[in-house]
Chain A
């Protein structure tokens, strides 16, 4: 097991610093929004988490395809790391979104395009993990997981578009304002700055966690190798 590289140590310190910086910006620097007051501040974290979740999904789909082409198992470790981490980040995004929605829209959930696609994406992550659980052979597990993330990655945009089309024909708007209106509460420059800072913070946290998870995956692979060698 290689010792923790310096860059990783720097990254984790940076993540912690940035996170507290983000907290500070959100609570001290960003102005209170006119209508929703403190509830609106959830949005900074909600958007950042959702962004990271989607980034992870793209990373998973791409590394899965790279694995299918190169057959190098290290890409499978990256894919698994991306799926697991995105699962958690996206779940946080969904829950924080629900918490924001209740006071804003009057409901915990609505079946609009973004939320429904988010739920489906979460189910695809879970399905991928369940698929991996059921396979012993690491090479077959990597192949199937890559195929499934590819199929999932292709179907999610189509799902989003279909639900969008469904909505334009039957607009189902609950609560004040359309659920798709992100900038509807008009973000002032300090808010935008805070937003971007949070996005950067969470991207750094994502990279740090991904790196750690990859290291864990490599360690697990080494353990599996040792097991095979010892039992022979």
Chain B
């Protein structure tokens, strides 16, 4: 009997593989909490630094808040992406995953989903703290939507690039250098859309930014999914 090739595996195996990888990451994180705590503390420290770096006077706060939030998320996200992949490589999980009879793209989606989950958890935690510290109401459905779309785009590209960066000599340092030039449309569109929702601008002005975010998410998830095989060859 032939060893199963991709063609013989049922499609549900693909989804099961993704589910298994996400479950593994979340379960491991639930026990050790090292990644989430590091990301969270870092995000809070960045917000603290911003208090001194930018004069967050009451009048300026609403204009500056989206930028501050997204810079915080971008840097904390880098931390999370780095650690998530480094842990895989160092503990040999990556080799284990590669040996398992799953599609490489299942590994991509699994890692991307767990990275997204971590980033969203950090963002959801940071929002109320920011609201309290700077006395600005951030519980806006539109804002939450933008954060979701932006995080999806960020982790889609970030997972691909961190898989590459973790295999180089310069590892942690390389990821921001690779990621930030490419992620600029997401940051720009997310900041503009966030400030649109917070400033209660009419939807007609916010739509272009949401469109850019959605287009970016779709394009880069597709590209990363197609190209991931080349990144994880052994």
Interface set of A (CB-CB < 8 Å, partner B): 68, 120, 123-124, 126-127, 130-131, 133-136, 140, 143-144, 146-148, 150-152, 154-155, 158-159, 161-163, 165-166, 169
Q: Which of A68, A140, A162 contacts B188 (CB 8 A)?
A: A162
Residues of B in contact (CB 8 Å), total 36
Complex interface: stretch among B31-39, B54-62, B144-152, B177-185: B177-185
User: Whose C-beta in chain A lies nearest to the C-beta of B179?
Assistant: A127
Say yes or no: is B230 at the interface (Cβ < 8 Å to chain A).
Answer: yes
B28 interfacial contact with A, CB 8 Å: no
The residue on A at minimum CB distance from B211 is: A165
B230 touching A143 by the CB < 8 A rule?
Answer: yes
| 4 tightest Cβ-Cβ pairs between the two chains A and B | A134-B168, A134-B170, A123-B181, A134-B169
Q: Nearest chain B CB to A93's CB is how many angstroms away?
A: 17
For residue B185, which residues in chain A have a CB less than 8 angstroms away from its CB?
155, 158-159, 161-162
Least CB distance, B51 to chain A, in whole angstroms: 25
Chain A residues positioned under 8 Å from B203 (CB to CB): none
Residues of A with C-beta under 8 A to B95 = none
Nearest-CB residue, chain A, relative to B219: A154
- Interface flag for B161 (CB, 8 Å): yes
CB distance A155 to B184 under 8 Å?
yes
Q: Is the CB of A130 within 8 A of B170?
A: yes
A-B contact pairs, 7 of them (CB 8 A): A123-B180, A126-B177, A143-B233, A151-B157, A155-B182, A158-B212, A161-B185
List of A residues within 8 angstroms of B182 by Cβ: 124, 151-152, 155
Q: B interface, by DSSP: helix, strand, loop or mixed?
A: helix
B42 within 8 Å of A by Cβ? no
Whether, in the assembled complex, B223 has its beta carbon less than 8 Å from a beta carbon of chain A, the answer is yes
- Which residue of A has the minimal Cβ distance to B227? A147
Q: Is A144 within 8 A of B231, CB to CB?
A: yes
Q: Does B208 contact A (CB under 8 A)?
A: yes
A148 touches B164 (CB 8 A): yes
Residue contact A159 to B164, C-beta cutoff 8 Å: no
- Bound CA–CA A161/B178 (angstroms): 21
B216 at the interface (CB under 8 A from A): yes
Compute how far the CA of A165 lies from the CA of B215 in the bound complex, rounded to whole angstroms: 14
List residues of chain A with CB within 8 A of the CB of B169: 134-136
- Chain A nearest CB: distance from B195 CB in Å? 11
Q: Which residues of B contact A (CB under 8 A)?
A: 157, 160-161, 164-165, 167-171, 174, 177-178, 180-185, 188-189, 192, 205, 208-209, 212, 215-216, 219-220, 223-224, 227, 230-231, 233
Q: How far is the CA of A148 from the CA of B224 in the complex (A)?
A: 10
A143 touches B212 (CB 8 A): no
How far is A161 from B189 in the complex, measured between Cα atoms in Å? 11
Chain B nearest Cβ from A118, distance in angstroms: 12
Best-buried of A162, A163, A166 by chain B (most CB within 10 Å): A162
Chain A residues near B165 (CB, 8 Å)?
A: 131
The chain A residue sitting closest to B182, CB to CB, is A155
A130 touches B227 (CB 8 A): no
In addition to A150-B227, A169-B208, 4 A-B residue pairs with Cβ atoms within 8 Å of each other are A151-B227, A155-B181, A158-B185, A158-B216
Residues of A within 8 A of B230 (CB): 68, 143, 146-147
A136–B168 CA distance with the chains assembled, in angstroms: 8
**Complex Cα distance A217/B220, Å?**
31
B208–A165 contact, CB under 8 A?
yes
Q: Which of A134, A146, A162 contacts B189 (CB 8 A)?
A: A162
Whether B212 lies near A162 (C-beta < 8 A) is yes
Contacts of B157 on A, CB cut-off 8 Å?
151
Shortest Cβ distance from A170 into chain B, in angstroms?
Answer: 9
Do A147 and B188 touch (CB < 8 A)? no
Q: B184 and A120: CB pair below 8 A?
A: yes
For A150, list chain B residues within 8 Å (CB). 223, 227
Residues on the B chain within 8 Å of A123, using CB: 180-181
Q: Would you give the shortest CB distance from B187 to chain A, in whole angstroms?
A: 9
A52 CB → nearest B CB, Å: 20
Closest chain-A Cβ to B12's Cβ sits at a distance in Å of: 29
